[in-house]
Amino acid sequence: MLRGWLRTQFARTLDVDDIVQEAYARVLQARESTFIASPKAFLFATARNVALMQLRHRCVERTKSLAEIDAPGIPDESSDVAGEVARAQELELLTQAIQSLPTRCRQILTLRKIYGLSQREVAAQLGLSEHTIEAQGTIALRKLAEFFERLEGSRRT
């Protein structure tokens, strides 16, 4: 049933058998440390996450290979050096802010905001209640706001 669902969701872009095997391995590993209330739902969510991770990885690989192409004679007129530097600095600050979070808050924020999982999916994946996910997510966002407020305050002085 899982293979059929994966084939309908991801067509021919991924190796379904590899995804199924990886999903089973992750479910078995998670089962050792936490109670899984709904194994079937957890397996399907895990398989979907593995497939999405593989798709992202392929996209990054393609981007890397395109970035390695050297075109020395072609000027890049669209390059806005100041804007790119500013974006890189903002990304670095965001990375620092996320890394400053407590481990649980960082995990939840990453799964919810970066990987786009629902509160229910995060709860199932981490073996926590949805209420805990909501509370920890709120704490994470509050701590991020405090981080940026401290940063802004230090820039003013």
Q: pLDDT tens, position by position, for the chain (157 residues)?
A: 888 888 887 766 678 888 889 899 988 888 888 888 888 888 888 988 888 888 787 776 665 555 555 555 555 555 567 777 778 888 888 888 889 999 999 999 889 888 888 999 999 999 999 999 999 999 999 998 898 888 887 777 6
Q: Are the CB atoms for 2 and 23 separated by under 8 Å?
A: yes
CA dihedral of 80, 85, 87, 93, whole degrees rounded to 10: -170
- State the chain's maximal CA–CA distance in angstroms: 61
How high is the pLDDT of residue 135?
93
Break the chain into its structural domains and give their ranges: 1-66, 95-157
Smallest CA-to-CA distance from 124 within 8, 18, 1, 26 is with 26
How high is the pLDDT of residue 157?
63
How high is the pLDDT of residue 104?
92
Q: Which amino acid is at 108?
A: I
How high is the pLDDT of residue 85?
77
- Give the distance, in angstroms, between the CA of residue 26 and the centroid of all CA atoms in the same chain: 16
Query: Which residue shows structure tokens 């407590």?
Result: 102
| Secondary-structure class of domain 95-157 per CATH | mainly alpha
Q: Which amino acid is at 19?
A: I
Measured distance CA(116)–CA(99) in Å, rounded: 19
Residue 137 in tokens: 């997510």
How high is the pLDDT of residue 124?
92
Smallest CA-to-CA distance from 55 within 13, 87, 20 is with 13
DSSP string for residues in 71-85: -TTS--TT--HHHHH
How high is the pLDDT of residue 113?
85
